Amino acid sequence: MKRVFFTIVLIFFTISVFAQKTKEVNKLQDTLMSHRSGEKHWGVKNHLAYKLLSIDKYNNTAIFYLMGSFREMKQKDSISHFFDNLIEQNKNEVEPYLIREQYNNYDNPSYTFRIRNLKKALAVDSLEPRVNYLLGKLYYELFTKEYKKSSKNANTDRYAQNTYQYFMFLYNLNDGYKEMLKYPLIQLSNYLGKTNDRKKIENTNIQTSYFPISAFLHLPNDWKTNYEVDVIAFASGTDFNFKGVESAIFRLNWYSKHLEALLEPVLDISLPTQIFRFTYLRTFHNPIVIGLVNSNDTILIYWKVSDGAGGYEPGKIIEDKSKKLTLKDWEDFTKKIISMKFWNIPTIKTGLIGTDGSQWILEWKGLGAYHVVDRWGGGEIYSVCKNLIELTDLKLEKIY
């Protein structure tokens, strides 16, 4: 009985300490983030950043503040000193090396230094996916840059081989990376003459989020054999006319976290049910998802709302309702979809993604088929998505 009593006391004490620690971390973070861009605040709050790090040793808010402070105060040596100490104090962890790479633009180290730093992390944990990915990405950047300068030579060959080594290792190690690594590996397989590997990779179809990466890519037609094209971070000039893998992942992660919070499933094309799903993300208003479902001519519309904000965190579900519609409602809606040639509309529109405003994402899933269109402010899908809102019992003050 005494043992049970002391166990309960210990649990409550642990919870209390954790809550107090969390409260202090949040307070310090809020203080560090409260400065205005016009103030000469750099250096004034460094002691608070260090205090925060003493509680949470890898706290991103604290590190971000210190890096900004060191740069603005022209204390470049302090940046190196900070990371050297962080690594020394945590020798058996990869995180300090990854953080150093994350903030590499603050002291602009050479590619050689960055690669050496990540190889030290690999010595700590050779199976860490993030380290292998970042090493492959650095060599890939060198490969595309060298190819632009000199076309095929010994350096481009070496950079291509190193990139391939890290990416292929990760591709085989972790299924979560297969979809995103597919594109640089196809390109590198062509360059290195690895025909069998290329065919195998091209035939791999894995979707790791709510949406396929392929739908949100916009690369030049010749990307597979044009080795000047960085398919990971590609954007052409200032108009952002083409979009690479990381641009696609940014969107997918943003949209997926809201769909996950709204307890939505990934649309499975192996099922016979037809569904149109509209995800409506207004920057400062509650996220909304609306689904119009046809199951053997039984029509249902459902809608969910969370208490978050479309441009920020998703929040929790505050409304989850549905109602039956008629087959005529379905037919009327699909007529509008057909007349606008929905299936011929490209998923993304070239150019910059909007900032404040709203993202309108409309998906359709049939048996063995899928299409998605994503537009800032609604674009071509504005009227049909507005029609979906009108079919629900939602009363929205602002539709934008």
pLDDT in tens, 255-314: 999 999 999 999 999 999 999 999 999 999 999 999 999 999 999 999 999 999 998 899
Instruction: Report the C-alpha gap between 140 and 144 in whole angstroms.
Output: 6
Give per-residue pLDDT as tens, 304-332. Answer: 999 999 988 999 999 999 999 999 999 99
Instruction: Report the C-alpha gap between 390 and 38 in whole angstroms.
Output: 45
Task: Decide if 208 contacts 179 (C-beta within 8 A).
Answer: yes
Q: Where in the chain is the domain with CATH 3.30.1560?
A: 263-391
Instruction: Report the C-alpha gap between 292 and 204 in whole angstroms.
Output: 31
Give this prediction's pTM.
Answer: 0.85
**Residue 236 — pLDDT band, cuts 50, 70, 90?**
low
Q: Where in the chain is the domain with CATH 1.25.40.10?
A: 45-252
Minimal CA–CA distance to 215: which of 70, 346, 316?
346
Task: Decide if 364 contacts 275 (C-beta within 8 A).
Answer: yes
Question: Burial code of 191-203, b = ≥16 C-beta within 10 A, e = fewer?
Answer: beebeebbeebee
* Class level of CATH domain 45-252: mainly alpha
Task: Decide if 187 contacts 227 (C-beta within 8 A).
Answer: yes
Minimal CA–CA distance to 290: which of 298, 300, 302, 273?
302
Structure tokens at 378: 């609604």
Report which DSSP code applies to 351: S
According to CATH, the topology of domain 263-391 is: Mago nashi protein (3.30.1560)
Instruction: Report the C-alpha gap between 281 and 400 in whole angstroms.
Output: 10
Instruction: Report the C-alpha gap between 208 and 358 in whole angstroms.
Output: 25
Torsion of CA 141, 146, 147, 150, to 10 degrees: 170
